[in-house]
Structure 1
Amino acid sequence: MGVILADAWLITMNDRREVLDSASIYIEGQRIAAIGTRRQLCEAHPDAETIDCRGRIVMPGMVNTHTHLFQTLLKGLGDDMVLKKWFTCMTLPAACELTSDDSYIAALHGCVESLRSGVTTLVDFQYINSRPGMTENVVKAFHETGIRGFVCRGFLSAGQEFGVPEHLIEDSAAATAHARSLIRTHNTPDARVQVGLAPCMIWTVEAEGFRRVRQVASEEGALVTTHLAETDFEIQRAFSQYSCTDAELLSEIGFLGPDVLAVHCVQCNKHDLRVLRHHDVKVSHNPCSNLYLASGYPAIPEMLMAGITVGLASDGPASSNNHSLFQALKFAALVPKGLTRDATVITAEKVLEMATIDGARAVGLDREIGSVEVGKKADLIVIDYENAFMTPIHNPVSAIVYSALGHEVSDVMVDGAFVVRKGVVTSVDEKAVRERAQAAANSLAERSGIDRFKRRPWRSTAI
């Protein structure tokens, strides 16, 4: 028996970018089978379950193109630090104490949080693999919660001189061999959860490590993601070691390609953008974390004008404090206007594209998800706009980007199955997940010594 979502305000994200009033969608199995009026679909499918969506917006599920799920346990401990200090003084000490069970609990919570805020596809950049089973446990959490996504097996193979603990450093040959094994196990045809590769960044992975990743990715057809040009330190390190930017280096060694998702790209210059466009590299834009860590802000309008595909992301909760793309939508729409003093430099429509169809394109899934079209996977979200924050409502796109807070998501469907129904996660016990995550977070902070950041003095002025 199929499902009809009836009489919704439908944001399709199809090629014509149609926004339809009082539209209905018929879902059969994993896919969208028909779009029409309630009467048309109910007459054609009298046995279908009909869900009244009046007062609701239906749109494609959002694609979060970058996070670090283990950082779910570190929310609020990294305030007021630039990236290098945040990485070496807070995140890495916690990573040294992280257990495989911590990885699983953090991933469960992060997936629940993502689904509750309308994300149906998630890219996890799992660069901590110091204990057996860490990546495997994240894959397990994806399967149990019902979210779609990529668990990208990352690694750190260098960087001790910059504060990376020896305990976290892996041999890049062994790390890529493990990634290949996971890819062959999980990346079956039509798999909802896939494994990719994630060399961390050029100051924590040697050039040969990037070459090894490229070989595995090309041979196995897997997604690759890496941090690129996130801070001034990264660019300075590239010039001091390689006499070029990190984008130029990765181009020269043959790493870049259309299967690469480059995260941040804050410090990319005009030549770097031409390099990315030449190789059809996709970009993951993380506005909240770039601001939180005072890293700067990427040249998103210039990237879009150059024809670079840009997806939206939350980044890990240690640098954004949650997985909600609604916050990222608003920042992505507002910050470029303030920086350029040009109110037209980016639109609400464009940033919603970045969170849906462009995000799907960034991870190679735009033929399957990212828009509401007949034949595509039924990855859909329902937003209840009958609340004080979103009403009065005139334009649904504007209301989602500028007015919504994220809690308005009432229903979420992945592969045609509800994973959130009437505001309740159906796949796991959310309350139990929250309680386990809090206990794990408390224990991890204490074991790693970063619980001191909980007890910081009140600060009303700049340090």
Structure 2
Amino acid sequence: MTSDSGVSPKTIHAADLRIDARWVIPIEPAGVVLEHHAVLIQGDRIAAVIPQQDADTGYRAKETIRLDSHVVMPGLINLHGHAAMSLFRGLADDLPLMTWLNDHIWPAEGRYVDESFIFDGTRLAIAEMLRTGTTTFSDMYFFPEVVAELAHDTGIRAQVCFPLLDFPTMWGSGPDDYLAKGTALIERWQGDDYVAPAIGPHAPYTVSDEPLRQCLALAQDKQVAIQIHLHETAFEVSDALAKTGRRPTERLAELGLLGPGLQCVHMTQIDDTDVRLLRESGAHVVHCPESNLKLASGLCPTERLRQAGVNVTIGTDGAASNNDLDLFGEVRTAAMLAKVVADDAAALSAHQALAMATLNGAKALGRDHELGSLVAGKRADLIAVDLGDPFLQPVYDPASHLVYSNHSRQVSHSWINGVPQVQDGRLTRIDVPDLMLKVQAWADTIRSGQTG
């Protein structure tokens, strides 16, 4: 049909939400900052990312939000943590890793961790992550069924890794029990829109060969990911060499675990063999810079891995060893550490650091076709960061500002599947006053246990 002038009328598209932003950093294409663009959302998907003047003539939105001093970008993906350990934040600081674990954390877990601890601690972690820009997180901890239910009900995306160890814990009696419960977790949640079940063998030094073989068989059968702490300390590597004559990566490669479904957390101790195995296998590395610094575990050579073609993502680890779940802070630390480790001020640019926390994380999850960048057709998981604060001025390069100058509390808005999770700095799905009462009760209990 044509108008009286003979010109076909322009098609007007419908959108549920239009977000007008001063800047948009879509992550794809890489290194791009778009000015005065609009992000259009229809249902749970991104409909378009276009100049605002094109949105004026091409779209009619039910709601429009104008963010004149903000950056809009994909939600952050925190690829490693132990969410409920937020209730242990600051419990045993300034200690070496094995002292911290053996003498403080593991005894505290044995005394306090149950389903109610997991529920309240994970809710605290989710609140902090949402408030600081994370829209997807990976968790490896006890009672994963509680974490899965909570993430689903809150509407935040989560990779939930069930634990696997050689010895009993409060969640299981041994490898067979962990694997049986883990299989049930996978069958319950596989295919869910928010929860992706996965397997979390703790580390090569806590899981023997046969359970690792069973882990791999289950992962292959159910098509789920595996996440493992790997090469976290120099002692872990030297001890493995002394006992087996092989580096942990070599052992995992021989068992068949080292592949595109494996997420290797920490990787602070790396030689040419490790780089080659990671590159050839397609395994992913999860960099946790602040936890590694605080526990003096070592430094992951992120630029060396990137240059070799290894996908490097980023995680916070747990708040007990960090002591926060602020992924923007982690990105800043990672960017600066990369330069020192590589002895190159140009290593890991601001845009590359932001990609580690978005698209690279999505690749490790096998979900880069729908997460990690602002591209039409992808899920509407995005955040807005306000750079209008007087002490953030002037803004020459918003990508650099996000990495080097931004404080994560400048996150003003967050959407997951197009649903608002943070509005004007306020959480929409979590009752913070009620949560704080629960957290204080746990703090009182744990404090009395320390002094009793």
Alignment of 1:175-194 (within 5 A): 175-188=178-191, 191-194=193-196
Distance 2:390 2:173 in 1: 51
Matched with 1:404 is 406
Matched, 1:69 2:71: no
One of 17, 24, 41 as aligned partner of 2:38:
24
Secondary structure, in 3 states, of the residue corresponding to 1:101? helix
Distance 1:385 1:193 in 2: 32
CA contact (8 A) 2:83 2:139 kept: yes
CA contact (8 A) 1:144 1:428 kept: no
Matched with 1:330 is 332
CA contact (8 A) 2:289 2:330 kept: yes
Q: Cα distance, 1:15 vs. partner?
A: 3.0
Alignment of 1:23-62 (within 5 A): 23-62=37-76
One of 357, 371, 378 as aligned partner of 1:369:
371
- TM-score normalised by length of structure 1: 0.91
Distance 1:331 1:170 in 2: 39
Matched with 1:274 is 276
CA contact (8 A) 1:383 1:411 kept: yes
Distance 2:156 2:359 in 1: 17
Matched, 1:214 2:216: yes
Matched with 1:119 is 134
CA contact (8 A) 1:96 1:168 kept: no
Secondary structure, in 3 states, of the residue corresponding to 1:89? helix
Paired AA for residue 185 in structure 1: R
CA contact (8 A) 1:172 1:212 kept: no
Q: Report Cα offsets for 1:7-58 as digits up to 9, x if no partner.
A: 4300011134421000001101000011223343244333420000111100
Secondary structure, in 3 states, of the residue corresponding to 2:173? coil
CA contact (8 A) 1:73 1:437 kept: yes
Q: Cα distance, 1:330 vs. partner?
A: 1.1
Distance 1:8 1:180 in 2: 47
One of 142, 155, 158 as aligned partner of 1:146:
155
CA contact (8 A) 2:201 2:212 kept: yes
Paired AA for residue 217 in structure 1: A
One of 444, 447, 450 as aligned partner of 2:446:
444
Secondary structure, in 3 states, of the residue corresponding to 1:272? helix
Matched, 1:301 2:303: yes
Q: Report Cα offsets for 1:316-364 as digits up to 9, x if no partner.
A: 0011011001111111111232344321122212111101111111111
Distance 2:21 2:263 in 1: 37
Secondary structure, in 3 states, of the residue corresponding to 1:55? strand
Which one has the largest radius of gyration?
A: 2
Secondary structure, in 3 states, of the residue corresponding to 1:157? coil
Distance 1:209 1:237 in 2: 20
Matched, 1:292 2:294: yes
Secondary structure, in 3 states, of the residue corresponding to 1:271? helix
Secondary structure, in 3 states, of the residue corresponding to 2:60? coil
Q: Cα distance, 1:307 vs. partner?
A: 0.4
CA contact (8 A) 1:225 1:263 kept: yes
CA contact (8 A) 1:292 1:319 kept: yes
Q: Cα distance, 1:90 vs. partner?
A: 1.4
Change over 3 Å in CA distance of 1:169–1:428 after alignment to 2: closer
- TM-score normalised by length of structure 2: 0.93
Paired AA for residue 73 in structure 1: L
Q: Cα distance, 1:446 vs. partner?
A: 3.5
Matched with 1:106 is 121
Distance 1:122 1:197 in 2: 15
Secondary structure, in 3 states, of the residue corresponding to 1:66? coil
CA contact (8 A) 2:21 2:72 kept: no
Q: Cα distance, 1:168 vs. partner?
A: 7.0
Secondary structure, in 3 states, of the residue corresponding to 2:159? strand
**Identical counterparts, % of pairs:** 32
Paired AA for residue 260 in structure 1: L
CA contact (8 A) 2:46 2:378 kept: yes
Q: Cα distance, 1:268 vs. partner?
A: 2.1
Distance 2:349 2:61 in 1: 41
Distance 1:47 1:326 in 2: 31
One of 312, 315, 320 as aligned partner of 2:314:
312
Secondary structure, in 3 states, of the residue corresponding to 1:371? coil
Distance 2:36 2:364 in 1: 31
Matched with 1:223 is 225
Secondary structure, in 3 states, of the residue corresponding to 2:345? coil
Q: Cα distance, 1:444 vs. partner?
A: 3.3
Paired AA for residue 125 in structure 1: M
Paired AA for residue 384 in structure 1: D
Matched with 2:5 is none
CA contact (8 A) 2:380 2:415 kept: yes
Paired AA for residue 133 in structure 2: G
Distance 2:251 2:261 in 1: 17
Change over 3 Å in CA distance of 1:375–1:167 after alignment to 2: closer
Matched with 1:161 is none
Matched, 1:135 2:144: yes
Distance 1:214 1:389 in 2: 50
Matched with 1:6 is 20
Matched with 2:11 is none
Q: Cα distance, 1:78 vs. partner?
A: 2.5
Secondary structure, in 3 states, of the residue corresponding to 1:46? strand
Q: Cα distance, 1:167 vs. partner?
A: 5.9
CA RMSD of aligned residues (A): 1.7
Matched, 1:92 2:106: yes
Secondary structure, in 3 states, of the residue corresponding to 2:390? coil
Q: Cα distance, 1:106 vs. partner?
A: 0.5
Change over 3 Å in CA distance of 1:366–1:389 after alignment to 2: farther
Distance 1:44 1:339 in 2: 48
Change over 3 Å in CA distance of 1:79–1:427 after alignment to 2: same
Q: Cα distance, 1:303 vs. partner?
A: 0.5
Q: Cα distance, 1:169 vs. partner?
A: 6.6
Secondary structure, in 3 states, of the residue corresponding to 1:321? coil
Paired AA for residue 183 in structure 2: R
Secondary structure, in 3 states, of the residue corresponding to 1:25? strand
